[in-house]
Each structure stands twice: as structure tokens, then as C-alpha cells.
A and B are shown apart, each in its own frame.
Chain A
Amino acid sequence: MRAPVLPRIRRQSLGSANPPLWRRPRAMMWLGLALVLFGLPLLSLPGRYILDTRDAIWFNPGHDLSQQFTVWRSSTTLGVEQHTGILVPMGVVIGLLRGLGLSIWVTERLWHGLLLFVAAAGMVGLIDHFQRRRSVLGPVTAAMLYVLTPYTFGYGIGATAVFLPYILLPTLLLVTARWLRSHSLAGPVLFGLTVFLMGGGNGAPQIYAILTVLLFGAWVVGVERSVPVRQALWFAAWSGLFVVGLNLYWLYALTSSSDVSNVLSFSEQPKVINVASSYSEAIRGLGFWAYYGGDLSGPWAPSVQRFITSPLWILTTFAVPVGAFASAWLVRWRYRLFFLFLGILATVVVAGIFPIGSPTPIGHLLLFAYAHVPGAAGLRTTYKFGGTLNLALAVLCGMGIESAWLRLRPSSTWLWRAAVAVAVIVIVANAFPLWTGQLYTPKSRSTAGIPAYWQQALRFLGGRQDGYRAFFAPATPGSVYRWGALHDGLAEATPWLPSVHPYRVPVGERYGSNLLAAIEQPYQGDIPSADAATLLRYLGVRDVVLMNDLDWSHDHTARPAELQILANDPSLAHERTFGQRGENLVGPGKVDSIAMTERQLFPVQVLSVPDPAPVVHADSGSPVLLSGDGFGLADAVRMGLFQGNPPILYTGGLTARELSTVMADHPSIVITDTNRRRAWSFSGVRNAASYTLPKNQILGDASSIAYGLFGGAVSTQTYAGYQGVSSVTASGYGSVFAPSPPLRPVNAFDGNPSTAWLVAPYQNPVGNWIQVSFNQPTALSRLTLVQPNFAFGFGRRISAATLEFSDGTQVRVFPKAGTTPLTFPAHTSAFLRVRIDAVTQGVVDNGVGFDEIQIPGVSVREALHLPTDLFDLAGTTRQGLSGLANSPLTYVFERAQTNAPLSQDEEQGIVRVFEVPNSRLFTLQGMAHLDPAVPDQAIDRVLGETNDIQATSSSRFLDAFRARASAAIDGNPSTAWIPQGTVGQFVKFSFPTRRLNQIVVHTQLAGRSPISQLRVAFSDGTFIDGNAAADGILRLRFAPRTTDFVKLTVMKVLKLPTGRTLPVGISEVSIPGVRLPHTPGGRKLGCFSGLAASVDGFPQPVQLQGTVDELLSGQSVPLSTCDGKPLSLGGGMHELSVKGVLQPDSLTLASPAPSSAPSAGQPPATPPMLDIHAVRGGGYDVDVRNATGPFYLSIGQNIAPAWRATIDGRSLGPPMLLDGYSAGWRVNRMGSFHISVAYPPQKKYDLALVISLLTLLTSLAVLGRPLLRQRKHR
């Protein structure tokens, strides 16, 4: 194509040589821009710091900047390679401003003002360049439209490290347009410096910015052909060189850090990013997912909410693309079509995979690229291409309004005035957050400062952590405190304090994150905490900081009352409290009973770990080989297995050679049912994992399965086995907002009607399905569907479904409420799939599904299979096999519980399949309580109240064990049967056949709804209705009859004057000759068999070590074999099952080392003395004194393959995974010596820093040379 003619417009004189300021439009323009863009941010929430990028850079800029030169960062994640990349310009500018003594909020406003001004200035320069003249109207219009957008208000201003590429995009394009044709090196240098000033806070927006100028280059070379290819390549090559050289310091960290893959896997995912990015939203600068969401505090981005909900602002936001398109059509200037195409392309890219349910072909291509093209997933945040879109539209509008001004003004007064008026209205309207003081909203995401009590606490902690760490609890997805919000949290804002604060998303190799999540279980999962100090010693923790002033409801984390589980842990000591009792403890609004008790707490509690172990420490004594993960480690510690803090090695992390070496140290072996094959969503800090999956099933991101530990090897994982069928799968389960393991698919086939598969609450369930695949083709001609009953029958339920078979045939069915037996023509099928076709309308949008799908002849039993990695590994060496046979061996089983309101536990019992290496005797111990769903008669059997009389009932109030049926026939009027509900509830007493002619029933009155009428039914089919007297007693005399049961059904209940309905109760039923003995509460529990436990399918008698009172109050009591008799298990696979009447919390099977095992040569129990000096880059110089035998050196930093240790220059080899997270080495040298621990990537990082610095100096020299020449010439 022929090169187009450039529009030549003469430079206009805008005034005389030295007119006053107000008569110089350009000067007034700059002054106005500066006033607006620097001044207005100062008027929004004055005095308050708004979350921006990283707290530390604002609160402790000196420390934070110094850490930017170190690639390994120890706090607050147990150590990770940093890739923050905010040293230049953000760190430098803020450091300078804070160094001048400016307050945080003033510094922040000046920084934000500077950013907005630089963006505006870049756009002014760009329009000037395209016009080839300097003017006011066009540049100001373009600048304002570019700077004052939803992108700025809703996203950029709170994440300025990511915002910088947006700010500098116009400048980058200006540099390219201005210097692309030039042979001067100044152009590439300026290009490199501009990208350098974008910083490395993210990566994706930088790439999008460079892509924009590449497209521009392609246009002028390929379409316009105004620049020779050779010249363009010259410019691109030199620019690329300077870009890489200047930015190498953060590019290196970004590409080398293993943590980047964690961020890509677990932060924003495409289906979230593009959930609302339709073309209509994208083209008006919206579409970013966070604009459409909210939480308890309201919308996440309230400053842009009006653009979405108000018709006026919808019109003004659409006015920009309309103006841009009109300009592209009507205004003839050189790059109009380029910017039009750029705007269209950017809109399509920002839309990404929208609509996420059925993406466009480009959407599919993007998804394919994210999954298969290395690095492409880093560009999945397509909303960041919004900068290019805004640029294209702003340039077109700016050029358009300038043309309108120039061309229409001389002749058509009304037309140009109208055009300018529209432009002003649109700019002012779209900028409303700036001039209405709503730039920083909501206020709840800001703070006036850190309270004095926290400053005292941080100073106190800082003086105590020499060589130790402070542990901040609980983990928080955000950091919203009662006194204000921070971006990361107090631990993160205080880089000078060595600390650890569990983080929602895993970091590094993920072992440390896994262990931290396990350590948080007591207060996040509501399980008892015992011996937390032992766990915390492994982390080098000296102090535990309870952040009671967190807004826990906002962050969906543990509340202060739950944190007291740690405060009540006997292994931790109370150190100090800070603040006033009740200060910042309870939020406004309704106060519940728990909050009343929380008002007695202090906002900050510091607990201390007695005899803490330093971060870098030596462990000696026999190590523990643990099969499982951090949850197994925490379980074992809670069970008291790791007294004395022995070194711990995960079997999944060992090589055969390492195992052989460790076996020489006479380890103990612990095999746990952890490292469960779960899909982790990391969307929150609690209940973030799926149910335990079968070994061949994957949900969600494959790298999230079991945290991806040990390379994701199935042999290291505990997985679910479905005995009786091949598989059970479903289209989904529970809610899409959070995993719901208690609603997993297998529940529909487990024969237990109290568990269910449910799907799609708050969504349309139609189209969802559940499938069971059989071990072999099975003939099906009938089945029974059982549906749950929600909202007393007023909830949603399935009204139509399709049964699908492997031969492709289908049967349409219409399930009723409750149980629906179905018969249909016989099908021999490899599977049965039930697809939901229709649901009823309900008063609530509950999930729908099945309590049971009963298929004759098909029974499904779920059992968890323990890891086999140790057996696999030990089998490869002689030492491994012998060590396995001769080491003490303990199995640890923990029932999976769920800490969510109104939710069942994931597991109702413990059913485990595990391998035993050789014939051994095991001691069975554990803790168990009664299963709340257990029937009344089973409770009586556990208590030993079994004779020929049986008491059953329809229900118990709140499943309370004391409210069971036998309480009404035990001769004790102070106990009663109390059902869940009133009319229709029944109690039934069965006994040997006898002849009756009277019954007396004592109903309860106090605190109950009075029963006015009861139906008494007998086994001969007769019944009598009787009315209770005013004293609540029903005396029935009737013609004698022979019966073997009496069933009392509540028929009528009197209304209370208050209108409330209370439970009913029957305290005593007198049936002549029928009575159960009253069981004293203090009676010791005995041994029983056949109800709860079995080994390899055979009933196992067990004994509960507690009293009747303890058991009936729901407490967990110790469980063991009767009289402590050991279990004998031969080598091979075994199955232990404890479920039914008893619900175990945890179980252990322990076997000591065989008596024939060699015991000589064990490593010494006393570790050597260490003198530790931290060195720059994350390493340590360790002076070892008086080592008397082999020991394990743990550096207390997350394991990374790059860690190295040397003694006198000799390498100790690659690091071992020690203590569940740390890099460490087994050292077998005796005496006193020096160990040098280093993190070698620091050297490469140093080199990258030097190259960046040298390139910067070279760039400045290139730019300064003409000036020097000029000066010399003068």
C-alpha cells in the first residue's frame, strides 16, 4: 500500500513572547492538570491510608527497600523467593517522600497524584505528536478520558505497582512513534527507560503495553509502509536490549521463582476473570470481575458501582466509544484506523473467554493457550489490556474533539459548542469519584494508622525474636481489623520482625503452607489443641500472637473465641496482653452470646512457647519417618507421638538412598491417613478442600490435588476406594462458592439416608447428573430414589429426571417427594446416570439431589486407602526392608470433620485400608463419642441397658442422647423423652408379650408445649386416643389386651399464650411390668462388641474409658481394645472400621519395635551446640561445637532445590525435606566445624541487579551525551 500523506498542520502561535500565565493556554492547561490530579486525591479521605500494593513499603519503606535486594524472604511465609519487583520507581519514590518526613497518607496522595499526572502528560504528548502541533482541547480531552476511568478508580489506584504500565503506556507509544524512524540510540534508550519505570509489580500489563507498541510498529511497517522493515528491526532490537538489561533485576526474579506457578494456579482464574467481561462492559472500560462482586461490607469496588447501576453513568461511559467510533469515521488523520482496530482488538481481548459457559472461538483459543503455551497463563488477566482499549478510545476522542474545534468553529458555532459541551459532560461525569471525594472507597478499606497497642506489641515482639519467629494467628484472606484495613496484615507491614503468618495461597514448594494450614486446624476447624508448642518449636516460633481485633466475619476466619483454643492449650504460656479489655473486639450491630464473652478479651494476646527452638537448629536422636503430610504431622503431635521434637522426614520426600541412610538411625515410622487426595481451592482459609477423591479422579486444577506435594504421586496420598462399584462421579456437588465434602456423590449410594448428594444451591440444578459405574454390566429394572426434605417440604426437589444407560437408552422418571420406587424395562448397563431434568419451585433455592439411590444388588462402601510410598521405597533396598520390619510402627487415623454451620462432618466414622509390613501386635487407642444420628436403642446397648425391653422413638430434640426414649421408662421422673417436633412424634416400647389394661403417661409441662392428646397403639392393631389432664398426666384404663409393644404418638399440643412452640416431653410412662433400669451417671462404661468396630470385617470388641455422664453429654472419651488386649495383624493389607454407634475422632494403632530388632548404634539424643550468623541472601554461617554423632541440621526455611550447604567447601548434597517444611541436611561429622549454608540464586540475582544498574548508567550516558556535547560546544 502506498504510504499515506501526513497531515501537515502549521504550528500555531498561542500567544505573544511573554504573555502573563493566564493568557498562555498551554501553561494554564498544565497548571490545571496538576491542580486537579494532585489536589483532588488529597481531598478524598484525608488522613487515612488506603490499601495499595504492599503495606510494608508505606509503613517501613527503609526495611522493605533493603529487602528488595535479597531474593530469599524469610518472613512471613517460612521463606520464599520474592518477585515483587517494586523497587523502581514505587519503592524509590515512596522511600524518598517518607524519608522527607511526610506522613503515610500525604505520601500516598502525592504518589497517586504523580501517577495520574504522568499518565495525563504522556497522553498530552502523544496527541501533540499525532497533531504535529501543541494545543489544549484535544490533548486535555484525551488525557482526562484516559486517566479518569473506571480502570483507575476501581483497580489501578489501589494497586499502583500493577497500574504503572497503564500510566506509562502513552509515553511508551509516544517514544515509539517519535523515534521509530530515527537512527539515534536515544529512542531505544527512552523505550527501555519507560519500561524500566513501569517496574515489575506484575508482568502481564508490561507485556500488554509492549504488545500495543508492537502492533503500532507492525502498522507503520506493514500497512503504512512508512518505516522500512530494517529500521523497525533496528529499533526493536536495541529497545529490546535496553528493556531486558534495565529490567533484568525483576525479570530474573519473576522467571526463577517457583512461587509464580502458585500464583498462576491459585489466584484469579479465567472463569472468574471473564465472568462479566461482555463486549458491552469491556468497551466502556468495565468488565473487571471485582467490579461486580461484594461482601458483607458492600461492593468490592464502590467507586465504580454507579457506572454499572445508574442509567446516566451507563450513557456517559458508552459516550466514549461512540465518540471514538464517530471520530474514526469522520476525522481524517493518519492513524485513525489503527486506533479503531486497536480498540476493537482490545475489546475482544478484554472480553477473553466471555461468556464463560460457551466461549467464542477466540475464548477457546485463549483457554488452550493458558493450558498449553508456557507463560501464556500469565496473560489470563485480560482486563489489564483495558489500558490499550482506553488509550485507543481516548486518542480517537481527543483527535476528534480537536478537529471539531478547529474545523467547525469558524463556521458552525452550535456544532462545535455542542461537541465540546458533550465532551465536558462526559469527562466530568466519568470522573465523578475524583471530584466527589469518592476516589478511595469504601472507608472500611483504609486506616488512620496502626493503634498504639499494636505498636507496643510489635516493639515488644521485636525485642524477643533474635533467632526466633513470632506466629500471627489466624490466617486471613484479607486484613480487615476492627480499627481499619491493611493490604497484607500487620506481620507483613513489619518487615523487621521475624514472623510467620499463614497465607491463603500456597507458596514455594507448598510444604510449609500445608503444614501451616494443619497447625491452624484447632481454631479454624474447631478441634482440640494439645501440645501446639511442640509443633511451633519446629517452626522456630517463640511467641504466638492472637489477633483478636480482626474483623473475622469479613475475612471468614477464626473469631476470638475460637482463637482461645490456643490460649487454653496447656503447652503454651500466657506472656502478655495489649490494649484494653474489649477494645476493638466486637463489631457494631447485634451481639451474640459468644461476642459477650469475647468482650472480656484483649485485642492482642501474646502466648509464649516454653523452651523454644531457634529457627536454625540441630535435631538429634532417632528420626521419625512420616507417611503423609503436614496434617499427619499435626495429628501425630496432638496425639503426643513427637515428644522431644525428634527430626521428622516425610517418606514421600525421600530417595531410596536417603531412606537407607536414615534407617541406620533407627527411626520410628508413622503412617497417617493424610496427604489426602483432595482438590484444594484456596479460596478461603477454612473448608477450602474437596472430599477425598478416588485415585484416578481429578477435580479443578490438577496441581492443587493434595497440594501437589511429592510431585503428585498417588502412592504418597490417601485416596478413597468405593467398594462394590467401579466409580461414583457427578457433574458437581455442593455449592460452587465453596467445596462441600459432606455432599459428595458417593453419599447417594452409601446406604445411609442421613447423608446425601446435593448440587447447585442458589443455582439452576437442571442438567446436573450423578453416575455410578458397575464392576461388570448389571441388569437394571428397578431402583428407588430417596430425596431429602428441605424447608419442611417447601424447598426445591427434583421433579423429573432421566435414567441413562451405557447402551445409549434412556428412561424418563418423575420422582416424588421422599421415597419413589421405580420400575422400568430391563437394561443391562455398565453404568447408571441420573440426570436432573426439572425441579420444583421452593421457598428457598436449596441444593437438590438424593439421600439414596437404591439399586437392588448394588451396595457401595467408602474406605480410605493409606499411602503406600514407604512400602514401595523400602522394597527397593535391603536396608529399607529390614528397617521397615524392625522399626516401631504407628498408624494414625483422623476422622475428617467439617467446621461449617448446619453442615455434617465429611466422615461419619473411620474406615481405613492399610498395609502392614510383617506380623505384629498393635495397641488400639483413640477418642470417640456417640454418633448424634445413632438410634435410641443403640445408645442403651452401649450403656449396657439391654434386656428384653427396647425403647425407640421418632426423634430426639437436637439429637440429645439424654432425650432418648428409654428416659421415659427408667422410673426417673427427672429424665424425659423429648422429640424434635411435636404432633406426629412417637415413642415406642417393645417387650415380651403381655396382657395390659392400663397405662399412665406423665407429660412434661414446665418449659414445654403441653401435650393435650396422645394415641396409644398396640401390636394387635388397636389404638386408643386419650387426653391429658391439666396436671399433664394421662391415665388410661381400657379393656385388657395382649400386646408386645406400646406406641405413644403425639396427636395434639396446646398453644402457649406467647404463641411460641416449644418441644414436648414425656417424663415417665408407667406400663405394668415394663421398666428399664435407671443408669447412674457416674457409672464406668464397659466393654462391648458388634456395634462399632471391626477389623478385616470381623467385629472387634472395644472399651470406652469414661462414665455414662461423659458419653451422654456428647464428650469424647478414650477408646481401646477391651482390657488393652493387643490386636494381632499379619503382613499384608488390612481394614479397620469404627463407625455406627461410635463416632471416633482419632485412632492409633501402635506397634513397638520387635524385640529382635537391633538397638545398638542409635544417634545421640543431645544435639550439638550451634552458633548461627545470618548472611546476606538468606544463608547462614553455622559453627558447630562438640557434635558427638550424626545430627539433622534444619535451617527453618521452606525447602527449595537450590539450597546448598558445605563443610570446608565440601557439599552436603541437595537439601532434605525436614520437619515438614524446612531445607535440611543429615550431618555425620563429629567434633567442632563450620557449615556454610547458602542460597545460590542470590548470586544470579546480584548479577541481574548489577546488569540493570550498568544498563541504567549506560542509558543515562547515551541520553546525556548530546547535552554534554552542547555544553562543551558552548
Chain B
Amino acid sequence: MTVRRWPLVVGYPILTFLAGGKFGLLVGLLVVVPSWFFTLSRKAFWIASLACLAAAPFALILQGLPATPVPGPGFGTRHLLAHALVGLAMALAAWAALRDLAEGPYDPNFSIRQMLKMRLFRRGPETRALDN
């Protein structure tokens, strides 16, 4: 299912711009524009979000950890890759969550086992129903 809800399509890039500046706007547009034309599953965004978040500590470690006991005030700016990854993770999770909110029914009857099976291990009609 494509996403053609105006509040979502307009509001989301604005939010990502506010939180991430030009980079955020780019992310917002890269998410919204394809979703207008193509069917992109929510699961893909959740997985991408988790992947970015899980990659952040490794990015932080790879960009170098302080050798001295005092990390120094430049620690944040020396690890902008991790910063960007977490920002991206939040943006993707927010998009998936907004779509959950806008499109998907709250169904408390799905067990986590079903969820895991449906979302992680098996693809089927019910999965598509949830994802889209």
C-alpha cells in the first residue's frame, strides 16, 4: 500500500528537518517520496531502524575511543557517524510508528510468538496485511 496521507507526507519531512536539519530533510524526503509511489513495508522500516541503532555503538567504537580518562568535550563531535545513525534510526522508527498509528489496527490478540513468526521468520498473507 502506498502512503498518500497528506498530513503524514508533509508533516514527516518537516519533523525530520527540525530534528536533523538538511540531513534530516533529505532522510524525510527519501522516506516519503518513494512511499508515495511504491508499496514499502513497515517491517522494512522497523528493521532498518533497528539495524541503524544496533550499528551505532560499533560506529562509535570504530571512530575511536578516548585514550585518556577524561573523554573531553569534543567526544560528541568526534562521533558524528553514531549521531547520524541514531538520528536515522529514530526517523525510520518514527515513520514506521506513524504508519502503524495511521494505518494499522491495534490488535492486542497478536502474540509475540505470532509476531516473531510473522515478522521475522515467515512471510504470508497475514504478514503482508500487517506490513502494509
- Which A residues are within 8 Å of any B CB, using their own CB? 1, 4-7, 223, 275-281, 283, 287, 289, 291-294, 298-299, 302, 305, 308-311, 314-315, 317-318, 321-322, 325-326, 328-334, 337, 340-341, 344, 347-348, 354-355, 357-358, 360-362, 365, 403-404, 406-408, 411-412, 415
Contact = CB atoms under 8 A, between A and B. Distances in A.
A283 B108 CA distance: 28
Contact of B65 (A311, A325, A340): A311
B41 to A, nearest CB: 12
B21 A360 contact: yes
Contacts of A281: 75-76, 79, 83
B49 A325 contact: yes
A348 B85 contact: no
Given A5-B108, A347-B90, A276 B113 contact: no
A322 B50 contact: yes
Contact of A318 (B57, B70, B109): B57
Given A355-B76, A362-B18, A332 B94 contact: no
Contacts of A308: 65-66, 71, 75
Nearest to A333: B108
A280 B83 contact: yes
B26 interface: no
A111 B71 CA distance: 31
Contacts of A341: 94, 97
> 9 tightest A-B contacts by CB?
A294-B70, A280-B82, A4-B106, A276-B76, A278-B83, A407-B112, A7-B108, A279-B86, A278-B76
B97 A276 contact: no
Nearest to A281: B76
A315 B54 CA distance: 9
B70 A292 contact: yes
B69 interface: yes
A309 B115 contact: no
Contacts, number: 171
Contact of B54 (A305, A318, A333, A361): A318
A772 to B, nearest CB: 33
A348 B24 CA distance: 12
A43 to B, nearest CB: 24
Contact of B93 (A6, A277, A328): A328
Contact of B97 (A5, A291, A328, A330): A328
Interface string B87-118: 10110011011001100001111111101100
Q: Considering residues B21, B61, B86, B101, which has the most beta carbons from chain A within 10 angstroms of its beta carbon?
A: B86
B87 to A, nearest CB: 5
A325 B93 contact: yes
B3 interface: no
Contact of B50 (A6, A329, A362, A403): A329
Nearest to A224: B106
A5 B83 contact: no
A344 B65 contact: no
B69 A298 contact: yes
Contacts of B100: 337
Contacts of A334: 106, 108
B86 A280 contact: yes
A317 B56 CA distance: 11
B80 interface: yes
B90 A314 contact: no
A985 B94 CA distance: 72
B115 A330 contact: yes
Interface residues of B, number: 54
A275 B75 CA distance: 9
A331 B112 contact: yes
B19 A332 contact: no
B86 A292 contact: no
A355 B77 contact: yes
Contacts of B76: 275-278, 281, 287, 292, 354-355
Contacts of B73: 275-276, 289, 292-293
Question: Interface of chain B, helix or strand or loop or mixed?
Answer: helix
A225 to B, nearest CB: 13
B74 to A, nearest CB: 8
A1173 B19 CA distance: 59
Contacts of B115: 330-332
Contacts of B86: 278-280, 283, 321, 347
Given A332-B106, A354-B76, 9 more contacts: A5-B108, A7-B108, A283-B90, A308-B75, A318-B56, A325-B93, A329-B93, A332-B109, A340-B97
Question: Interface of chain A, helix or strand or loop or mixed?
Answer: helix
Contacts of A355: 76-77, 80, 83
A4 B24 CA distance: 32
B113 A407 contact: yes
Given A279-B90, A299-B70, A308-B75, A407 B18 contact: no
Q: Considering residues B19, B54, B79, B89, which has the most beta carbons from chain A within 10 angstroms of its beta carbon?
A: B19
Given A294-B69, A314-B57, A408 B108 contact: no
A287 B119 CA distance: 34
30 contacts: A4-B108, A276-B71, A276-B74, A276-B76, A279-B84, A280-B86, A281-B75, A283-B86, A287-B76, A292-B72, A292-B73, A293-B72, A293-B73, A298-B70, A299-B69, A305-B69, A309-B66, A309-B71, A318-B54, A329-B96, A331-B115, A333-B108, A341-B94, A357-B77, A358-B21, A360-B24, A361-B19, A406-B112, A407-B111, A408-B116
Q: Considering residues A6, A318, A358, which has the most beta carbons from chain B within 10 angstroms of its beta carbon?
A: A318
Contacts of A407: 111-113
B112 to A, nearest CB: 4
Contacts of A365: 18
Contacts of A283: 53, 86, 90
A328 B100 CA distance: 11
A223 B108 CA distance: 17
A292 B57 contact: no
B19 A325 contact: no
Interface in B6-49: 17-21, 24, 46, 49
Contacts of B66: 308-309
A294 B112 CA distance: 46
Contacts of A329: 46, 50, 93, 96, 119
Contact of A276 (B46, B59, B75, B89): B75
Contacts of B18: 360-362, 365
Contacts of B77: 276, 278, 355, 357
A568 B21 CA distance: 61
A412 B113 contact: yes
Given A308-B71, A360-B18, A408 B50 contact: no
B69 A280 contact: no
Given A280-B60, A360-B24, A411-B113, A332 B107 contact: yes
A341 B53 CA distance: 15
Nearest to A407: B112
Contact of A360 (B20, B72, B107, B112): B20
A555 to B, nearest CB: 18
Contacts of A362: 18-19
Nearest to A359: B21
B117 to A, nearest CB: 10
A265 B77 CA distance: 25
Contacts of B71: 276, 291-292, 299, 305, 308-309
Nearest to A272: B73
Contacts of A403: 112
Contact of A344 (B61, B80, B94): B94
Contacts of A314: 57, 60-61, 65
B108 A278 contact: no
A361 B17 contact: yes
Contacts of B82: 278, 280
A280 B79 contact: yes
A407 B112 CA distance: 6
Contacts of B90: 279, 283, 344, 347-348
A330 B114 CA distance: 10
Given A292-B73, A309-B71, A314-B57, A404 B94 contact: no
